[in-house]
Amino acid sequence: MKETRWGVMVHSLADWKARKLREPMTVEKWNDLVDHFDGDGLADQIKSVGAGYLILTIGQNSGHYCCPNPTYDRLVGIQPSKCSRRDLIGEMAQALHQRGIKLIAYLPSDAPGGDAEARKALQHEGAGRPNREFQRKWEQVIRDWSLRWGTNIVGWWFDGCYWPNAMYRSERPPNFASFAAAARAGNPNSALAFNPGVADRLLSVSPHEDYTAGEINDPDRLMIRGLVDGKVDGAQPHVLSFLGGRWGGGSPRFTTGQVIEWTRKAVAAGTAFTWDVPVQRNGLIAQPFLDELKAVDNKVRKSARPANPGER
């Protein structure tokens, strides 16, 4: 992130797609959508805009995931599986690697909120509780994916770490340390971020994370302060916001000049910037968003000076 300075995030989620289609999501429909996701086309687009990395969703609240996970299937017992037959994350990692781009996987730290059957099987007790049995099971699920992909993915962005004291700061596992160990099972060098929620300043919530999650709704309100040796309490500063009218959807809400200004300001402070953009049904980014992303590359990354003397 420090070297590439900026990247792209893409949400491809079953319940979001179902709302857009105005149809209930089924296993068959989900598999069809994942099968027709143009991974090579998206990788070409990410390459064309000059981004250094892509953050891609595995799944979220619906309980549908875009890659197989036998451990998840065993633990929840739902058949047919809501995990897709196609390993979209694995294939995207290879497609991006061929183009010199890195992949970071997105996953909530909590149970799928929209799947009552899965929550019960995973022994999730509710928001804000320790959820120790759930955490043990969820770490097994994460470990399965991490071992599957190995060094093909370089990091994780874990959403929904809204109760770090209740769930992750105990002295004995499960805790932040065991959570991080599960995510790094396949790649010990994976960079991790735990998202505590929307904030106007960058925060690090654990010494076990490598970069700040940085979720912010209004990038013009971003405050970058308290850096020591270029870090936020030991973590690489990173900010994440969205170009559309909402996360994963809508039309461009900013002028190209605004996007450039905010990205340039963050990069100048040593902060990496990730822009979330919507994708169409086939997994490709629409032209208006491509145009803004290309402007970021042309005006920000290429013109940015190295953060340290001698850095290239």
pLDDT given at position 304: 56
pLDDT given at position 310: 34
**Ordered DSSP codes for the chain:** -TTT-EEEEE---HHHHHHHHTS---HHHHHHHHHT--HHHHHHHHHHHT-SEEEEE-B-SSS-BSS--HHHHHHH--SS-SB-SS-HHHHHHHHHHTTT-EEEEEEESS--TT-HHHHHHTT---TTS--HHHHHHHHHHHHHHHHHHGGG--EEEEE----HHHHT--SSSSSHHHHHHHHTSS-TT-EEEE-----SB-----TT-SB---B-S-GGG-B----BTTBBTTBB-EEEEESSSBTTBSS--S-HHHHHHHHHHHHHTT-EEEEEE---TTSPPPHHHHHHHHHHIIIIITTPPPSSTT--
pLDDT given at position 303: 64
How do the pLDDT tens digits run along the chain, 312 residues long?
888 899 999 999 999 999 988 999 999 999 999 999 999 999 999 999 999 999 999 999 999 999 999 999 999 999 999 999 999 999 999 999 999 999 999 999 999 999 999 999 999 999 999 999 999 999 999 999 999 999 999 999 999 999 999 999 999 999 999 999 999 999 999 999 999 999 999 999 999 999 999 999 999 999 998 899 999 999 999 999 999 999 999 999 999 999 999 999 999 999 999 999 999 999 999 999 999 999 999 988 666 544 443 332
pLDDT given at position 60: 97
Q: Tell me which of 3.20.20.80, 3.90.180.10, 3.10.150.10, 3.40.50.2300 is the CATH number of domain 6-226+233-301.
A: 3.20.20.80
Domains of the chain: which residue ranges? 6-226+233-301
